[in-house]
Amino acid sequence: MAKEQLVKPIGGPPSEVEHIKIESNYLRGALVETLRNPITGGLPEDDNRLLKFHGSYMQDDRDLRNEREKQKLEPAFQFMIRVVLPSGVATSEQWLAMDSLAHKYGNETLRLTTRQTFQMHGVLKWNLKPTLQKINSELMTTLAACGDVNRNVMCSPNPFQSDLHGEVSHWARQVNDHLAPRTRAYHEIWLDGEKVVDGQQEGEVEPIYGPVYLPRKFKIGFAIPPYNDVDVFSQDIGYIAVVEDGKLKGFNISVGGGMGMSHGDTATYPQLGKVIGFCPPERIVDLAEKTVTIQRDYGNRSVRKNARFKYTIDRHGIDWFKTELQNRLGWQLEAVRPYQFENNGDRYGWLKGSNGKWNLTLYIQSGRIEDKDGYLLMTGLREIAKVHSGDFRITPNQNLIIGNVSSQKKRKITELVEQFGLTDGAQHSALRRSSLSCVSLPTCGLAMAEAERYLPTLIDKLEPIINEAGLRDQEINIRMTGCPNGCARPALGEISFIGKAVGKYNMYMGAGFAGERLNKLYKENIDETEILDTLKPIIHQYAKERETGEHFGDFVIRAGYVKAVHDGQEFHS
């Protein structure tokens, strides 16, 4: 088959990225040579595109950009590395390895991501290979952490129902591993595996993806009701665990969620997944594979902004998708079973799991692990990892669970927590503990405004208002991203800020507390003063007029501030 025929354009020729993928010989490109090139600390754009599939992005320190430009130097190129960690579960050895890599090759911090994995920033080109080798030697990979493939599969870290968590995260791993790319390029380039000269000639195939992979990234998450911490309706495929008589019976399936959009382009919008049926556990891997192949075959390969699965579904309709899926599966989904979500946040502090072991959820501001301003968070966690024989679980809210702690070890870990002043956030307002922000500046090349570095300061200024209104213990989900790509799932925040320009944000309100409803634009392009002036009276009104148990997102709709949005196609209207 001619290479071009493998790419099916929709309303236009294939995008540049499609050409790069197809010419790459299963993700090899010229990476071996360009990584070795000593003249520059960067990579050409083609190889940078391919590098993403290997779990790394070229970036430059944006704080230094202007200065370097003035000095006629190339940008301060550095690389972000993202690990694949299905369900966000890591061992102590893996934790220690990431900690040591961050010090040896990175910027001495680790980032816990909103998809429950590790990111390192600031790695130089020359250090990519030893870093990836060490990550692999600790039985982790970075292959498919980024790129047009299925990404790290998420799973509720549920600290209560231990057996159920074990079972559901087992299925999450099955799906994750089944959808991993099969190319040998990764081993060849990073792990000194045997070189395959021409993949196709040697019979190398990607049975699920084919040689051009997917039109766009693809995301899957597993929720265990009543917790919707994975924001299951933001996933391309969401699996909602159905438990009857204490046993996992299977999963309700939701399809076509996603958060990304572009400012001012109404053809792009965040969307909620639609629940289409129920499936027993042993069939979910097949379901994931067939769904991915539908997106592979029908996703938009000309316009990347419209290439996500949510647009494929909205373009053809959910009934078309169900029929197509049914034809490919050769078996029927059962009727949706009842389920109920209560919230999408984390439960902090020590909790005893059903297996008798203890789990400590720590509050990690913006997911950043570092030693800063006398707060030795990174050192404290390293000391815990040295004695901890359970697991570490990164939550979808960028927090950390020290999981499966025996009663004997609990005392030692508590001592370390106290010694290093690690916190479950009890001293903070519930607003702060319910906050989420993306990385943004200085590393993210797409950032328009601050997020990780600014949200804590904004919350400092909101807390007096919250306290005055008597709402210190009221959970209100607040999210901030530096641009509309939506990395902190901002369309699901009861209050959200999306960066427009330095110091300016669009403000959204009205998402559901359990992640079941999108929010809506309330004010455009506002600065801090206007944010505070806008929110103050609304917060006070909420405190006075809320009904029993009414959440902020529900209140602002009832009070008429914004309309309820249940379908992303109404997000801009």
* SS3 at position 278: strand
Q: Does 486 bind ligand SRM (CB under 6 A)?
A: yes
Q: Is 487 a catalytic residue?
A: yes
82 binds ligand SRM per the rule CB under 6 A: yes
Q: 225: cis peptide before it, omega within 30°?
A: no
**Which is it for the CA torsion 148, 22, 2, 12, positive or negative?**
positive
Residues that bind ligand SF4 (CB under 6 A): 438-440, 444, 446-447, 451, 481-483, 485-487
Q: Is 489 in the site for ligand SRM (CB under 6 A)?
A: yes
Q: Give yes or no for residue 92 binding ligand SRM (CB under 6 A).
A: no
Beta bridge partners of 350: 360
Residue 483: active-site member: yes
When CB distances are held under 5 to 8 angstroms depending on the partner's kind, the choice from ligand SRM, ligand SF4, none that residue 258 binds is: ligand SRM
Catalytic residue selected from 146, 155, 279, 487: 487
- The one of ligand SRM, ligand SF4, none whose footprint includes residue 520, by CB under 5 to 8 A per kind, is none
- Single out the residue of 438, 455, 458, 526 in contact with ligand SRM (rule: CB under 6 A): 438
Which listed residue (219, 274, 296, 347) is catalytic? Answer: 219
In the beta sheet, which residues pair with residue 283?
none
DSSP assignment string, 310-332: HHHHHHH-HHHHHHHHHHHHSSP
Near ligand SRM by CB under 6 A: residue from 123, 164, 400, 487: 487
Q: Name the pairing type of β-strands 495-501 and 478-481.
A: parallel
Q: How far is the CB of 264 from ligand SF4 (least distance, A)?
A: 15
Q: How far is the CB of 447 from ligand SRM (least distance, A)?
A: 8
In the annotation, is 216 catalytic?
Answer: no
173 catalytic? Reply is: no
Rg (C-alpha) for the chain, rounded Å, is 23
Per-residue interface string for the shown chain with ligand SRM, residues 149-178, x marking contact by CB under 6 A: --xx--------------------------
Shortest distance, position 445 Cβ to ligand SF4, whole Å = 8
Residue type, 568: G
Phi, psi of 280 (to 5 degrees): -70, 160
As measured in angstroms, the least distance from the Cβ of 151 to ligand SRM is 5
DSSP 8-state code for residue 282: G
Q: What are the Cα distances from residue 388, in Å, to 90, 92, 273, 408?
A: 12, 6, 38, 11
- Three-class DSSP category at 520: strand
247: which strand partners? 244
- Measured from the CB atom, is 113 or 474 closer to ligand SF4? 113
- Exactly one of 365, 443, 496, 506 binds ligand SRM (CB under 6 A); that residue is 443
The answer to whether 438 is a known catalytic residue is yes
Q: Which is nearer to ligand SRM, 217 or 382 (CB)?
A: 217
Helix then strand then coil, in percent of the chain rounded to 5, is: 35, 20, 45
Residue 68: CB atoms within 10 Å: 14
- Decide whether 114 or 435 has the Cβ nearer to ligand SRM: 114
82 an active-site residue?
yes
Structure tokens at 184: 């040998």
Side-chain half-sphere exposure of 384, counting CA atoms within 13 A: 31
Written as one letter, the residue type at 258 is G
Cβ 245 to ligand SRM shortest distance, Å? 32
Residue 146 catalytic?
no
Taking CB within 5 to 8 Å according to partner kind, which of ligand SF4, ligand SRM, none is near residue 113? Answer: ligand SRM
Q: Which does 483 bind (CB under 5 to 8 A by kind): ligand SF4, ligand SRM, none?
A: ligand SF4
- Find the part of the chain contacting ligand SRM (CB under 6 A) among 13-21, 286-294, 484-492, 533-541: 484-492
Residue with tokens 């190339």: 74
Residue choice 12, 317, 421, 445 for contact with ligand SRM (CB under 6 A): 445
Of residues 483, 489, 500, 517, which has the active-site annotation?
A: 483
Select from 206, 294, 218, 215 the least CA-distant residue to 27. 206
Residue pair 456/498 in contact (Cβ under 8 Å)? The answer is no
Pairing of strands 435-437, 478-481: parallel
Distance CA 125, CA 41 (A): 6
184 given a catalytic annotation: no
User: Which residues are tagged catalytic?
Assistant: 82, 151, 217, 219, 438, 444, 483, 487
Where do contacts with ligand SRM occur on this chain (CB under 6 A)? 57, 59, 80, 82, 113-115, 117, 119, 151-152, 217, 219, 234, 258-260, 308, 367, 438-439, 443-446, 485-489
